[in-house]
Chains A and B, each alone.
Chain A
């Protein structure tokens, strides 16, 4: 059974940093691109970033470029999102997903709240 378990969310002040993690199991992690998708409270879904099989290629939405860094450790079947210079508009539940154009598997999400 595919499992994606996110962790690392919490309350953080504007301008500070936070690192999210996603532990994957039940599939060959290195066979998948991976992505982070977020959802602000009561809002829709928003793709944040994706990373290629070996981490050699990364993709970001414009609003997080230069502030967020997606990375992976295939040996640990883990995905990460380093979030720096956080803003109030980054407040959302962050989901880890597999990415093969379609986002087939999703974690339960981790809530990030940016507030003073």
Chain B
């Protein structure tokens, strides 16, 4: 089973601040997927195939990485970005998720 480790667990960012969330895999994967989940709602696909933005995702978001190290970056934090972000690998079953990074507004 591929273990995904996200960091930080929680963080607070000010409006306009650049934010970087990381996800490390215990084994190499070809792609990483990211989901945004706001309190009380279903997760939404946010980034797929490591760096492609899902439909409707603002272009202040970007994804990058390869092998065992991946990241999600917000170029300029906005209020609506407060949420929990999960990474997920789909290389093989069992699919696994990171524990999530809770992003709050400072």
> Interface residue count for B (Cβ, 8 Å)?
23
- The answer to whether B61 has its CB under 8 Å from any CB of chain A is no
Closest to B31 in A: A101
Stretch at the interface among B12-20, B40-48, B62-70, B71-79: B40-48
Tell yes or no: B5 within 8 A of A by CB: no
Contact pick for B88, options A59, A95, A103, CB 8 Å: A103
Interface stretch, picked from A13-21, A24-32, A39-47, A81-89, is A39-47
Chain B residues whose C-beta falls within 8 Å of the C-beta of A53 in the assembled complex:
none
The 8 A CB mask of A46-72 against B (1 = contact, 0 = none) is 110010000000010110000000000
Closest chain-A Cβ to B15's Cβ sits at a distance in Å of 27
A61 touches B35 (CB 8 A): no
Cβ-neighbour of A102 out of B33, B93, B94 (below 8 A): B33
Query: In the docked arrangement, what's the CA distance between A54 and B13, Å?
Result: 46
Q: Which residues of A contact B99 (CB under 8 A)?
A: 44
Q: With A45-B35, A47-B96 given, is the CB distance from A107 to B90 under 8 Å?
A: no
Interface residues of A in 76-109 (CB under 8 A from B): 95, 99, 101-109
Contact A45 B48, beta carbon cutoff 8 Å: no
How many Å lie between the Cα of A75 and that of B10 in the bound state? 44
Cross-chain contact of A95 among B42, B94, B97 (Cβ < 8 A): B42
Of A95, A101, A106, which is within 8 A of B90 by CB? A101
**Docked-complex contact A59 and B43, CB < 8 angstroms:** no
B43 interface neighbour in A45, A50, A61, Cβ under 8 Å: A45
Q: Chain A: which residue is nearest B33 at the CB level?
A: A102
A102 contacts B42, CB within 8 Å?
no
User: In the bound complex, what is the Cα–Cα distance between A99 and B97 (angstroms)?
Assistant: 14
B32-60 interface mask toward A, CB cutoff 8 Å, 1 = contact, 0 = none?
01010100001111001100001000000
- Residues of chain A lying within 8 A (CB to CB) of residue B96: 47
Residues of A with C-beta under 8 A to B33 = 101-103
